Structure 1
Amino acid sequence: MRLGLLLNRAQSGRSGRHGSTLRWLLMLPILASAITQAATVPLPAAACRTGDLFVDGFETNTPYSANPSTGGGGVPGDAQRAVLVTSTGQTRTYFLRVPPLHSAARPAPLLVLLHGATGSQATTEAAAQSLRSLFANAADRHGFIVLAAPASGSQGGWLGNQDTAFIAAAITDIEAQYAIDRQRRGLWGFSAGAHFAHGLALDNADFFAAYAIKAGALQAYSSTGAPAAASRRIPLQSRVGLSDSLLSFAQADATRFVNAGWIAEHDLQYREVSGGHNVDDSDADAAAAWLCAWAVTP
């Protein structure tokens, strides 16, 4: 499920650890030039403001806007866009939110949201919009531009290569339209979206700065050994309800990340919280606070 980040490496004949995946990524759009030996950069406290927006020069160009996209400021608020997914020939809709006072002079971090399975493909757009609404306040406070993508599966779930190509096309489109800090792309998913986020983030660890999930399981889209195979220790926040049926999966996966080298309370934040298989404002607040604190070197 590579997003096209390593296209140059594939074209030069170095297949890396997923040769079959690299054959697929040749059909995906190029989202950025190749990144090698990427590293995680913890950001200063000013990157995660929780008070008034853009006070004291929020989102200055250094040290975490060294690789901005060329898009403009855009109109704040909710919107939707249609994008052609070249590899599938489909035109698909995604939903976005632009924070107040966003401008080309202040490249914004990007937050990609992946909803849970809905039971029907007909309801995925509503699920994506609902998730965008849930994250609106938290994203606005931290200055994120939000990209909420609807899944394409007939049961409202995610399809590996097909939805990876869609998300790649949507990110390319949004970065052409808005000023995005490409060192600060974040990913969040719930339930089936969290399962998918594991695979997407770990296969593109040099593309996303960090990711966060609620009620996710590694084995759904990637192997339980996936953390050890990632190109770097991409920071992860994992949350799960104490009465969630996926609690045991989340617990086991947290151990797998630690065994693969992640450091608890540094680049791995694992939390068991009250409630069951659901998502609410507290999850949005926690995810935004976690994701805004990381960048990846260009």
Structure 2
Amino acid sequence: MSRRNIHRDSPAGRGRLTARPGTVGDRPETPPSIQTLSVGTERFGLISVPPRYRPDRPAPLLVLLHGAGGEAGQAIGWLQPVADEAGLILLAPQSEGPTWDVILGGYGPDVKRIDDALAEVFRRFAIDPDRVAVGGFSDGASYALSLGLINGGLFRRVAAFSPGFAAPSGTDDHPAFYISHGTGDTVLPIDACSRRLVPRLQAAGFDVLYREFDGGHTVPPYVAREAVGWLLDDTP
């Protein structure tokens, strides 16, 4: 998807996602698996279906965004065991370039890719509209924060692991945030990143659960487990 084919005032050019979950209909049984998600001839990433998924029971969905230079498989790999235990479907889109579009010059092609991937997931799987979230690691965390702020009507919760920044084109609704960061991170240093981001989100009235940990640019297993529990917590 060429950037020049997406007008900056279009939904994709403003970072807005238009796909929404539909009503539960006749959907096929799907065995637990990691599947390539394709629309036509274009591959958009991977989807992980947990053992507890049933087409007659809408499941929670997490759109999980990889870091710079990463791949969809890496994004799913570190979170899949926890997600499977929790019955959480993972959608891991693949960015068109080495990282996400807003970091390379502005919203557009990756927003469109994610929107198309979501539309396909909503068509094929029964998804709970009240438990659709977005998350990511590193550059993916920055992109998740940005898309979450823009698309709060779709994403009720946002999990950002070691983010660098947020660059929303606007804000929509009032999503809640889980943010983690290692105190020894030398890739995206905590003082310049999360310790600036979190107070700004809180000052703007957003609910933020913030976790600092003793470590570097990574996601400790206990942080991943806590984040998934938070994503699925129905309490305010």
Q: What range describes the TM-score normalised by the shorter chain of this pair?
A: 0.7 to 0.9
Equivalent residue in structure 2 for 1:285, among 183, 202, 225: 225
Aligned pair count? 219
Q: Which residue of 2 aligns with 1:258?
A: 202
How many Å separate the matches in 1 of 2:74 and 2:201?
A: 30
Aligned partner of 2:154 in structure 1 is 207
The equivalences for 1:3-82 within 5 A come to: 20-22=9-11, 24=13, 30-32=18-20, 68-70=23-25, 71-82=27-38
- Rounded to whole Å, the distance in 1 between the matches of 2:234 and 2:157 is 6
Aligned match of 1:216: 163
Give the 3-state SS of the residue equivalent to 2:35 in structure 1: strand
Cα pair distance change 1:21/1:217, threshold 3 Å: farther
Q: Say yes or no: does 1:232 pair with 2:173.
A: yes
Match of residue 168 from structure 1:
115
Equivalent residues in 2 for 1:116-265, closer than 5 Å = 116-118=67-69, 124=70, 127-153=71-97, 156-159=98-101, 160-219=107-166, 221-222=167-168, 230-245=171-186, 246-248=189-191, 249-262=193-206
Indicate the SS of the match to 1:103. Answer: coil
Residue type at the aligned position of 2:66: H
How far 1:294 sits from its partner (Å)?
Answer: 4.5
Q: Secondary structure at the match of 1:131?
A: helix
User: TM-score, normalised on structure 2?
Assistant: 0.83
Unaligned runs of 5+ in 1: 1-18, 34-66, 85-89, 119-123
Alpha-carbon distance between aligned partners in 2 of 1:191 and 1:232, rounded to the nearest angstrom: 24
Match among 49, 54, 58 for residue 107 of structure 1: 58
Amino acid in the other structure paired with 1:97:
S
Contact 1:69 1:175 in 2 (8 A): no
Which amino acid in structure 2 is aligned with residue 242 of structure 1? T
Deviation at 1:69, TM superposition (A): 4.6
Offset, 1:101? 3.1
Deviations 1:89-120 (A, max 9, x none): x82231111111311221100011101101xx
| Rg larger in structure | 1
Q: For residue 13 of structure 1, what is the aligned residue in structure 2?
A: none
3-state SS in 2 of match to 1:270: strand
Aligned equivalents of 2:12, 2:35: Cα separation in 1: 34
Query: 1:230 Cα deviation (Å)?
Result: 2.1
In structure 2, runs of 5+ residues without a counterpart are: 1-7, 102-106
* Percent of matched pairs sharing the same residue: 28
In structure 2, relative to structure 1, the CA distance for the partners of 1:232 and 1:74 (3 Å cut) is: same
When residues 174 and 98 of structure 1 are mapped into structure 2, their CA distance, relative to the original with a 3 A threshold, is: same
Alpha-carbon distance between aligned partners in 1 of 2:135 and 2:38, rounded to the nearest angstrom? 21
Report the CA distance between 1:276 and its aligned residue.
Answer: 0.6
**Cα distance in 2, alignment partners of residues 152 and 96 from structure 1:** 17
Deviations 1:24-54 (A, max 9, x none): 47xx884139xxxxxxxxxxxxxxxxxxxxx
- Structure with larger RCO (C-alpha < 8 A, sep 6+): 1
Q: Which residue of structure 1 aligns with residue 104 of structure 2?
A: none
TM-score, normalised with respect to structure 1? 0.67
Name the SS of the counterpart of 1:247 in structure 2: coil
> For the residues of structure 1 that align with 2:131 and 2:108, how far apart are their CA atoms?
23
